[in-house]
Structure 1
Amino acid sequence: MVRRGGGVRVAAVTPAASTRTATAAAVVAVCLVTAPAAAAVAAAAATTSAAWSSIVTTGEMRVWHPVTLDIPRGPWASETARRNPFMTYRLTTTYTSADSGDRYVVPCFWAADGMAAHTGASAGSVWRCLFTPDAPGEWRWSMSFKQGPGVAVRTDGAGAPVRPFDGRTGSFVVGPSNNETAGGRDFRQKGRLRPVPGQRYMRFDNGDWFLKHGTDSPENFFGYREFDNTPKGRHLYGPHIMDWLPGDPTWGADHRGKGIIGALSYLASVGVNSVYAMPLTVGGDAKDTFPWVTERGVWRYDVSKLAQWDIVLDHMDAQGVALHFILSETENEELMERADRGVLGHGFSTSRRLYYRELIARFGHHQGIMWNLGEENGWKDGSGRGQYNTDWQRKVFLAHLAALEPYGALLSLHTFPADKERIFTPLLGDASALTGASLQVAGWPNVHNETLTWVLASREAAKPWVVSVDEIGGTGALPDAVTPDHHRERRDVLWGALTAGAAGVEWYNQAGDQSMEDFRGHANLWATTDRTLRLLRAQRVPFWAMDPADWVVQGRNNWALASPDIILVFLRWGGAATVRLAPSTAYAVGWFDPRLGAGVALEGARVIVTTTGGATRIGVAPRDARRDWALLVRRVGPVPTPSPPTPPSPPLPSSSAAPTPPPPLRVTPPAGPFSFYVVDPRSGVDVAGPLPPTGGSLHRAALPPGFSLRAAPQEGLPPPPLSPTTSIRGGAGGRGSVVWELNGQVVRVERVPPYLIAGDHRGTIYPWRAAPCGGAATIAARWGAGGDASTIHVTMVC
């Protein structure tokens, strides 16, 4: 056994010597016993044989809690043995739910003596499989254990069986979760965090939706000097030792780890629910973190160090803090390919395949893990070193990760601010296994638009990504001592991201990028972000069912996230709110002050009733009207129609600023997925419709100047699913895209409601200048290319 601390080798003992001696003695004893004792000795020998082939199941045996299968006496190995255990063996276990038939194929790993986090062992015979069941009941397992040169990274089933473990089967039963610790934060009472197909947010197995509130600094979070073999680690997190509590984990006889464990406990206590961390900073900025025995020894892993990392991840699960694991840094994204002599140019090295397998085997069972292919990936920095991945590499790396990772966790990618179009575009839709985009935005006021770009682009590609803002340019978020109010971070970044449909933010601080030790320096920033997320929870805002909808609020500096029944508006510079609402409907409205010092309850709450609908002036916030405010508008019901015996009531005041001309046509809506309306571009109000499918005339004199047409999806008819061949960018659309046709020719593709035949931008509705005068025209709107259409035949009388 070898124990390592701070990179210094302390002691070495011949592995498993005592065990081997005891076994030999038992065999000798069989030869010396008398006949009457022969039966007892035979029974003892059988027991010894069973112990050698045993597989031990441990764990809390509840759903969403890890279950461990250990082979205590598997093939003996050491980190530095000539026969490299990391490459020579491949242990995999398949778990199948007896009730549902759900199946998980989970890579396993060599664990030295099984207690390496505490003993520092670098040798032993324990092999381990970690699995988190996601349903109660019986789970059946079957084990594949192979050996041979390079077999660890083979995917063709090659290798000789390791007897007697290869082909072994068994089962265990788990009960429902009863974990109610950590104030409801514990991921073990929520289940696995993963993206939902067709959605742009992540959700836990228990149904809770997730918005990320994270710290992006320090990126070398695991550059912690109390991990084994981390001599250059920049961190001790000394100020957070006070946050470590009795009962919290440590490792080793000297109880190391209190600083990093305390830091995570503090972050969780102030609402931070994710940490950005790199397992590999060799050749990068910090140069202090690596998973191997040596800095560039890409074939051999430091078992005790990784076991200590796992203790930290266990605490993160318990505290409700997800790990955003960034697998490479821009300066080292080709490090493994360069270390592999069998790889030429920008290839896919065996050592990288091993890297992905070891990390997933050791850490993939954690409920809150998010995998990120790399930081600033693909950036050609001009150094001439060629340390960048190619489109082909990104696609094959992602495909390999997706095939290896059993649980469907997030697979995302981070890139340089100017490279988003070049890097992300080839990965859209079914072109890759990517499920998330991790954005770095240089100019803070651009956060909203850049987030919106990739939210919409991924939706159009029929595979919405989980888009998060994980790095902001310049100095980043400065400490409270410099910017105590964090106005720009809140206004431009936090609310800019959320209203564009982002799945959350992580806060970057340039000065603390590798050196941050005390997270209390940003306490006001954590509190500001946490207040916003608490507002959404307290008001039950279904952000996962809402879409970016800037068009519903007037003013180019205003943003909105909306569904048919609720609208969340953000006024960057305050002022009066004018929101597009449905006619004859009652709405509850209330204001939220996003700045610290205010409460979390809505202010100025009241009910308004619309008559004509359209652009509805709601007014200004209760105070500080020239500062940023959020406005929540919720539909509470239609306006009831008075019964005939009731004396007529005075008409309700119109919520529209200007009277609306009577519609020239009002007939049965056309068949198909849409109804058509004429829109006044000055007010955004529908002034005619639904228009007839045949035989109608539109009199130009009765319509407002510069009118447009709007296609309104029929209630209860959602957009159809897309085929894999649907055009992704620049063509006739994805799910949610409406293709306008005039006399059989495509004239407009609209990707965001309102679906207008001439389009709109930031509240400005463009007039339909191609409106035909005289004669009949056939106008159609359809879902995507070749989708269902609604058609109208009209004559324009000018």
Structure 2
Amino acid sequence: MSRIIRVLLLPLVLVMASAQLPANPGGAQAAGTVTGTMRKWQPVTVSFSGPYAYELDSSPNPFLDYRLQVTFRGPSGQTYNVPGYFDGDGKGGGRGSIWRVKFLPDQAGTWYYKASFRKGTNIAIDLNPSSGTPTGFDGASGSFVVGDVDASAPAFFRWGRLQYVGGYYLKFKEGPYWIKGGTDSPETFLGYDGFDNTPSGPYGILDFAAHVRDWTTGDPVLNTDGADAGKGVIGALNYLGNQHVNSVYFLVMNIGGDGRNVWPYAGKVNPAGSSSDDNTHIDISKMRQWDTVFLHAQKKGIYLHFVLNEAETANKKELDGATLGVERKLFYRELVARFGYLPAIQWNISEEYNLDYNLGATRVKEFAGYIQQVDPYDHPITVHNYGTDLDSVWGPFLDDSRFSVTSFQLESGPGTYDEVVESWRRKSRDAGRPIPIALDELNAVSTSSSSIATQRKAVIWPVYLSGGNLEHYLGGPTTDKTLDDFRQYETLWRYTWYARKFMQDNLPFWQMEPADGLLSSESTSYGGGQVLAKKGEVYAIYLPDANPSGKLDLSGASGTFVQRWYNPRTGSFEGTARTLTAGSAVSLGAPPSSPDDDWVVLIQKAQAGTDTQPPSAPSNLTVTSKTSSSVSLKWDASTDNVAVGGYAIYANGSQVGTTSSTSYTVTNLSPSTTYTFVVKAYDAAGNLSAGSNQVSVQTLSASTTPSLAVTKFVLINADTDQPITELKDGMTLSLSQLPTRHLNIRADTSPSVVGSVRFGLNSNLDYRLERNPPYALAGDSSGDYRSWTPATGTYQVTATPYTSSDGSGTPGSALTIKINVIN
């Protein structure tokens, strides 16, 4: 593949900002160029013009013999010392004079930066700040202003860095605690034919052809002359994100390993591994492409699990003979410099560190220590083991502050997985440092329905209700290098999401403890039931077989509790809530249906006036539009004795979404396929109504999908929610002549209900995404328009309809107008 081809940038509005601090007596260097959206928790790039170089130069080597470090000082005085990197021409080309640093600001306000740029032999990996000599733009400084969090940004870029906070779960800095439910396969995720200079290895090369259809207009591409322009890997991430898969495990260097087609280097490399390999020159175009993919993954809510070594001896010895030498230090520094700005990532020192060539605990700790010194963000670090003797292979890391999460392999684990999670929670607590317990390679799960059902009963729910995290190992050793169609495992992703969603929506899981001893007399299938509890307040019980369901000991609790049944196969509560009186063991009773299947019981402390009455069933469910991949529905509202909380939408018996409005577009459907839809209402207490009337509809064939269009813009009075006038291109609005200054703009579409509408305002092409009508520039709450008061000036408003609810799928005809606002 030609090295001239370069990454096409994401459709991101870049706000240019630069400032120069007052000159000092020594003559300060000019400020760098600052680009980014300039919002809290969103990436900022500072680019400097420095020495011209080529990525294969050796005298000096631009990656080793120059060191860029930039100190950022925030509004509250916080500082970050961030490593930078040589970026060629700044567009993916290997020749140029652009030197860059990427940063993730954690506070709104004015930030100051100052560059240290020094030259010397191997200075890049030297941690002594005074080593080498100043050169080029050393001392360049400036400032930039960061706005507050963008409420419409993807979750990771609203919540901030995911970090270890001293407990059993990672937590976003300004967001929720996080439960991992990801994929451990393929480990060769980066062995993709859309990346520059990526060869076919012993297991071939991935093309993700099955996911090209998941790429959508507006998504990034990687090149212009590849087979799919990079759409396959971007589409794969879109698919995983849509399925709520929130973690991907991958190798970043497998020279001498199994796949032998992933590395960051531009120089000569023997894929089988060799001491003569050039491991000190970085492939700038490939790194730019990797960065595009990694950033897109984060926008889709996917945690990046960087695995830095493979089990095979040749791989472990590829860098400095398995020591912490020049090559390894440069490898670590370059990864941190180029990708450390991302908010949700993890460094894994090695896959199966103790297999074949045993790195040993001392060396693993040394490697982790160097990364920790280089990484200004303190991302979680772990190491992956081989074998079942966890005490000997992972015990040495338990009380070490360099390691903040486990990465257990348990393909033939000691006992059941829940016992491992529970015992290692205790061990980490007893060591004085409770950490998240993650099982990252379990018995392989196949695509068969029986294998996936076993995974649900033996792995997913037992691990989660023991307080653990997991990644699924798919197919086995060959699939682990060749899998490029994640859709084969869609049922697995759905079951995993149902479990995570149950915990996230209903439990203070980070405050809960395993309490299996409270359950008795239940079926012993799959080792019996699992209990996660915050005693006296809430209990979650998983029953692999609910016949019999057993008894829960509430003798240590007091008061009234409410019991509900959750179906782990459909992801919804079923049946009627039941009131329990604590003070003794209580019988869980029979589930609403299928007693020989698995069920989840949720028991919560009743509040005063606890509601046990379900809403009425929705009525008059109808189809309003359809495409080859989506069906839009509407229905009449339900009623409730307290209040309707929302509606759950089911397709062919499986829940596919929820909404608070009385319309919904179901996406990711197959062409020319018949689906039967039902809607149920629920309230705040979790009571679920009976189903609405059923409607069956066949999606269109792929070739007959009707076009979508935004037909007009309407100015709305946000005080009364009534239209004021249709907006035309070039129209002038006089605020003093309008009935109110509390305004909004509605986009009307054809058909009237579409998957979603993305608004652009002036240069911000991703100003707002609206998933349900009315589609409003400033948003609404079930038709109650939010207020927008524009300042005087000129505004360009764009609205684009999409077939899918997340601003993806097939785009329709957009409408753009310019309006002038005066007093």
**TM-score by shorter chain over 0.5:** yes
Q: Is residue 123 of structure 2 the alignment partner of residue 151 of structure 1?
A: yes
Q: Which residue of 2 aligns with 1:503?
A: 469
Specify the SS of the correspondent of 1:451. Answer: helix
**Which of 536, 554, 561 is the equivalent residue of 1:587?**
561
Deviation at 1:365, TM superposition (A): 0.5
For residues 105 and 314 of structure 2, the distance between their equivalents in structure 1, rounded to whole angstroms, comes to 33
Cross-structure match for 1:619 = 589
d(CA) in 2 for partners of 1:243, 1:124: 35
Q: Does 1:211 align with 2:184?
A: no
Structure number with larger C-alpha Rg: 1
> Does 1:311 pair with 2:292?
yes
Measured after TM superposition, the shift of residue 165 of structure 1 is 2.0
Partner residue of 1:104?
A: 80
- Which piece of structure 1 moves more, 370-379 or 554-563? 554-563
Provide the secondary structure at the position in 1 that maps to 2:563: strand
Residue deviations 1:404-462 (CA, integer Å, cap 9, x gap): 11112111121113242222111111x34100101211237621112222221111111
Residue type matched to 1:438 in 2?
S
Structure 1 or 2: more strand by fraction = 2
Over 3 Å counting, the alpha-carbon distance change for 1:627 and 1:131 in structure 2 is: same
Cα pair distance change 1:326/1:332, threshold 3 Å: farther
Cα deviation for residue 623 of structure 1 reads 2.3
- 1:371 partnered with 2:342: no
Displacement of 1:602: 4.5
Tell me which of 308, 326, 333 is aligned to 1:350.
326
Which residue of the other structure, out of 537, 555, 573, is the alignment partner of 1:601? Answer: 573
Question: What is the match of residue 321 of structure 1?
Answer: 302
Q: CA shift at 1:332, angstroms?
A: 4.9
Offset, 1:494: 0.5
**Kept in 1: contact 2:410–2:439 (CA 8 A):** yes
1:545 to 503, 511, 514: 511
Q: What amino acid does structure 2 have at the position aligned with 1:291?
A: P
Is the CA contact (8 Å cut-off) linking 2:29 and 2:139 kept in structure 1?
Answer: no
Secondary structure of the structure 1 residue equivalent to 2:402: coil
What is the Cα deviation at residue 330 of structure 1?
Answer: 0.9
1:497 offset after TM fit, Å?
0.8
**1:50-449 equivalence runs, <5 A:** 53-99=30-76, 101-116=77-92, 121-180=93-152, 185-196=154-165, 198-232=166-200, 234-254=205-225, 256-293=229-266, 294-295=268-269, 296-332=277-313, 335-336=316-317, 339-340=319-320, 347-379=323-355, 381=356, 387-429=357-399, 431-443=400-412, 446-449=416-419
Q: How is 1:616-695 mapped onto 2 (pairs within 5 angstroms)?
A: 616-636=586-606
Q: Is the 8 A contact 1:187 1:367 kept in 2?
A: yes
CA distance in 1, matches of 2:50, 2:224: 25
CA distance in 2, matches of 1:253, 1:73: 29
In 1: Cα distance, 2:434 partner to 2:167 partner: 6
SS at match of 1:457: helix
Letter of the structure 2 residue corresponding to residue 579 of structure 1? L
Of 462, 486, 489, 2:455 maps to 489
Contact 1:54/1:72 (8 A) holds in 2: no
> Residue 105 of structure 1: CA displacement?
1.4
**Residue 85 of structure 1: SS of its match in structure 2?**
coil
Q: Secondary structure at the match of 2:373?
A: helix
For 1:586 and 1:339, locate their aligned partners in 2 and report how far apart those are by CA, in whole Å: 62
SS of the counterpart of 2:487?
A: helix
**How far is the alpha carbon of 1:609 from its aligned partner?**
1.2
Quote the offset at 1:561 in angstroms: 0.9
SS at structure 1 position matched to 2:449? coil
Corresponding letter in the other structure for 1:353: K
1:504 Cα deviation after fit? 3.7
Letter in 2 for 1:76: A
Do the aligned partners of 2:499 and 2:571 also contact (CA within 8 Å) in 1?
Answer: no
Residue 599 of structure 1: CA displacement?
A: 4.9
Q: Secondary structure at the match of 2:368?
A: helix
What is the alpha-carbon distance in structure 2 between the residues aligned to residue 609 and residue 122 of structure 1? Answer: 71
Letter of the aligned partner of 2:192 in structure 1? Y
* Separation in 2, partners of 1:179, 1:305: 32
Q: What CA distance in whole angstroms lies between the structure 2 residues aligned with 1:601 and 1:442? A: 33
* Alpha-carbon shift at residue 245 of structure 1 (Å): 0.8
Judge conservation of contact 1:140–1:171 (CA < 8 Å) in 2. Answer: yes
> CA 1:485/1:607 → structure 2, altered by over 3 Å: closer, same or farther?
farther
Conserved in 2, the CA contact under 8 Å of 1:132 and 1:366? Answer: yes
Q: Shift of residue 152 of structure 1?
A: 0.9
The residue number in structure 2 matching 1:526 is 493
Rounded to whole Å, the distance in 2 between the matches of 1:268 and 1:207 is 19
Cα separation, partners in 2 of 1:312 and 1:583, compared to 1, 3 Å: closer
CA distance in 2, matches of 1:284, 1:485: 29
Which is worse superposed, 438-447 or 313-322? 438-447
Give 1:164 deviation, angstroms. 4.5
Match in the other structure for 2:425: 455
When residues 370 and 113 of structure 1 are mapped into structure 2, their CA distance, relative to the original with a 3 A threshold, is: same
> Cα 1:365–1:332, aligned 2, differ >3 Å: closer, same or farther?
farther
**1:166 CA displacement:** 1.8
Once the 2 structures are TM-superposed, how far is the Cα of residue 509 of structure 1 from its aligned partner?
2.5
2:770 aligns to what? none
TM superposition shift of 1:616: 2.6
Deviations 1:682-712 (A, max 9, x none): xxxxxxxxxxxxxxxxxxxxxxxxxxxxxxx
CA distance 1:332–1:102, shift in 2 (3 Å): farther
> 2:445 aligned to 477, 486, 492, which one?
477
CA distance in 1, matches of 2:213, 2:389: 42
Percent of paired sites with the same residue: 32
Cα deviation, 1:752-774, whole Å, max 9, x if unaligned, reads xxxxxxxxxxxxxxxxxxxxxxx
Q: Structure 2 CA distance, aligned partners of 1:583 and 1:52? A: 68
Which residue does the alignment assign to 1:536?
503
Cα distance in 2, alignment partners of residues 544 and 332 from structure 1:
39
Shift of 1:80: 3.6
User: Aligned partners of 1:585 and 1:522: how far apart in 2?
Assistant: 44
Secondary structure of the 1:76 match is strand
CA separation in 2, counterparts of 1:124 and 1:484? 56
Distance in structure 1 (CA, Å) of the matches to 2:520 and 2:286: 55
Q: CA deviation at 1:360?
A: 0.5
Q: Secondary structure at the match of 2:500?
A: helix
Q: Is there any run of 5+ residues in structure 1 with no aligned partner, and where?
A: 7-45, 382-386, 641-798
Q: Distance in 2 between matches of 1:639 and 1:258?
A: 53
Determine the C-alpha separation between the residues in 1 that align with 2:121 and 2:256: 29
Using the alignment, how far apart are the partners of 1:192 and 1:152 within structure 2? 26
State the distance in 2 between where 1:113 and 1:389 align: 38
Q: 3-state DSSP class of the match of 2:479?
A: coil
CA distance in 2, matches of 1:500, 1:74: 55
**What is the rounded CA distance, in whole Å, between the counterparts of 1:245 and 1:220 in structure 2?**
24
Q: Aligned residue for 2:3?
A: 3
Q: How many residues align?
A: 568
Judged with a 3 Å threshold, the aligned counterparts in structure 2 of structure 1 residues 333 and 199 are, in CA distance, closer, same or farther, namely: farther
Q: Counterparts of 2:552 and 2:79 in 1: how far apart (Å)?
A: 49
* Conservation of the 8 A alpha-carbon contact between 1:593 and 1:629: yes
1:302-351: per-residue Cα shift (whole Å, max 9, x none)?
11111100000111121111111111111158645x553xx7xx632221
